[in-house]
Chain A
Amino acid sequence: MSIAYRIPREKLSELVEVLMENYLVYAPVEKAGNFILSDVEDPAEVTLEYIRTINSVDSILLPPKEYLFKYRAGTMSFAGKLTAYIDVEDYSEKREKPLCLFGIHPCEAHAIKYLDKVFSTEPKDPYYESKRRDMFIAVILCDKGDENCFCIPFKTYIPPEDVDLVMSLDGDSIVLQPFSERGKEVVLKLEASPTEAPEINPPQRAKKIDISVFDSLTLEKVISGDISDLSEKCVLCQACTAVCPTCYCFDLYDEPDPEEPGAFFRVRRRATCHGLYYSWLAGGEVILEDKESRFKWRILHKFVFSKNMYGCYGCIGCGKCTAFCPAGIDFIYLIERLQR
């Protein structure tokens, strides 16, 4: 569908309002000088002009802490025999409407496609699926970016074909290009005038590096490389993995229900390979024992393991891990060093 429509910028909140009728909308809003992907209460707070949000799509699909189910287990007599039971009550968050991710950059839409490969393949993750089902995705084309972006080699500045709506800013107006029937229905609810579909160009300030930098990363190169001088600077704050749109590791544990003795919650909490507990084994051995091995692990997961497991890279080049690292560790520089 190459037909596009134009609305004046003032009508942005109207567009958000239309979506809010049928969806629970998450969009970038400014909070204390930072941009956050947040559930929208007031359509007027939504902005499409930002470089990057701190949190990412993964924090909505796989929340930092999520209650999955509540259970009670015990035994009872049944036909003169003792049997065990586990009563399970779904405790995952219920929404009346499907989710809409509005105004995310194209790279983050690619992150969703990557997470789909992990969570929507057999055995399917029911908690992920319930959030992903009927999700409406409206991306805003990214024109500027900054020196931490490296989406160009991955072509992740180009929206995936199965999003619903592609938006771009053009002077005083917003150009809306529906990619799906649902997207078209939404646009037709507004007074929009037909226009030409926008050209999709790489963000101006994004790093211009070649895909061969990643294609030539091998298991052997990563393992034998020396980046200890860089990893030494890491303060283990775990920001890099927390902000990453494609990081998905998690912990599962049980927590008692304070209101009902004998009942427990199964909780999912996001985990990070930068933490010590991540790879602890029963014998006391820690697989990723030093900081350098954890950096290498993250690089391997994104570029070598993902390629083997899912046939694609697990990094979209959003640059968040570099932008939000308090120790100033540059992800691309790490990779370049491993190339030597």
Chain B
Amino acid sequence: MNPYVPKPGIVEGIRWETERIRTFVIRFSGWTIDFKPGQFTQVLVPGVGEAPFCIASRPSVKDRVKITVQKRGNVTQALHNLKNGDAVGLRGPLGTGFPIEEFKGRELVIVGTGIGIAALRSLIYLAVEQPNYFSHVTVVYGTRYPQDLIYAYEYDEWRTAVDLIITLSRAPPEWRGHRGRVTEHLKKMSFSQDTVAAVCGSGVVMRSVSKLLIEKGVKPENIYVSLERHMKCGIGKCARCMISPGLYVCKNGPVFNLKQISLEYIARW
């Protein structure tokens, strides 16, 4: 099997999340997927190119995936131009994902900011689909403005299984919910030696969240961050995604615990 060749899929649904973010449902043409929360896929817009996206759908669904795409450059713009019924290509699932077997029966805290919540959505779905999988789940999700929030249509479903804290760092006066950065809310919480954390956001946010969690007693090996690096091959060949002390984010990650990589290398080379 040639690992560079994508498999066909068809756009079957498009949801406008925000002005710059859309979620696509892609149904596979003649194949199925078996993925772990935290894994990603290389999505091809024919003629334009590939870009990596986290799989943001229910792990139990095998014949299609959802990806949530923020408009950035060539490929992401081309994705935003797609219509229902258009063909795309996919490679994956790629990467290792969260070690969910090790999470079983434990307290889980999920921290996402901005588009980073997309990387954590399949983990939230797992909690929703299997309410007894974890002993307790808290989701702390932060953005700047209310109009940046995505997946709002699902929060009620999430709340059936998780404690959901949505916080805005630049909330307008009329905002009735939580205010401030995610770290301000994490500061008020308490964790056990056994708590596991799943974190995704910008490098700087992941570093400050991780630092705080360690201070609050969460063990570094129980803190999992989902990293972003420039990726091309997605299979550990092109070396574009390497991080200290010598790991491919695409192949060995993108999810790492803080024993595998140290705090200071989350946001730098």
User: A residues touching B (Cβ–Cβ < 8 Å)?
Assistant: 68-69, 71, 73-75, 82-86, 88, 118-119, 123-126, 219, 223, 248-254, 256, 264, 266, 271, 278-283, 285, 287-288, 293, 296-297, 300-301, 304-309
Contact = CB atoms under 8 A, between A and B. Distances in A.
Contact of B87 (A74, A118, A253, A300): A74
Contacts of A125: 3, 237
Contacts of B268: 287
Interface residues of B, number: 48
Given A308-B245, A308-B246, A249 B72 contact: no
Contact of B8 (A73, A252, A293, A300): A73
Highest count of chain B CB atoms <10 Å: which of A85, A125, A304, A308? A125
Contacts of A304: 244-246
Q: Tell me whether chain A's interface is mostly helix, strand or loop, or mixed.
A: mixed
Given A73-B8, A74-B87, A123 B3 contact: yes
Contacts of A82: 10, 85
A251 B232 CA distance: 6
B239 A73 contact: no
A266 B4 contact: yes
A83 B29 contact: yes
Given A278-B230, A281-B229, A305-B242, A84 B47 contact: no
Q: Tell me whether chain B's interface is mostly helix, strand or loop, or mixed.
A: loop
B246 A252 contact: no
Given A73-B47, A86-B89, A249-B238, 17 more contacts: A69-B5, A71-B46, A73-B46, A73-B89, A82-B10, A119-B237, A219-B245, A248-B238, A249-B239, A252-B238, A271-B240, A281-B229, A287-B268, A306-B246, A308-B245, A308-B246, A309-B246
A293 B269 contact: yes
A279 B4 contact: no
Highest count of chain A CB atoms <10 Å: which of B7, B248, B269? B269
B29 A84 contact: yes
Contact of A86 (B6, B50, B229, B246): B6
Contacts of B29: 83-85
Contacts of A301: 239, 242
A72 to B, nearest CB: 8
Interface of B: 1-10, 29-30, 44, 46-50, 70, 72-73, 76, 85-89, 202-203, 228-230, 232-233, 235-240, 242, 244-248, 268-269
B48 A254 contact: yes
A193 to B, nearest CB: 46
Contacts of A249: 238-240
Contacts of B72: 282
Given A83-B10, A84-B29, A283-B202, A252 B50 contact: yes
B87 A73 contact: yes
B227 to A, nearest CB: 10
B8 A84 contact: yes
Contacts of A88: 2, 5
A170 to B, nearest CB: 41
B10 A84 contact: yes
Highest count of chain B CB atoms <10 Å: which of A73, A266, A278? A73
B245 A254 contact: no
Nearest to A78: B29
A84 B9 contact: yes
A254 B6 CA distance: 13
A68 B4 contact: yes
Given A71-B46, A75-B85, A85 B246 contact: no
Nearest to A287: B269
B237 A118 contact: yes
A247 to B, nearest CB: 9
B239 A219 contact: no
A85 B8 contact: yes
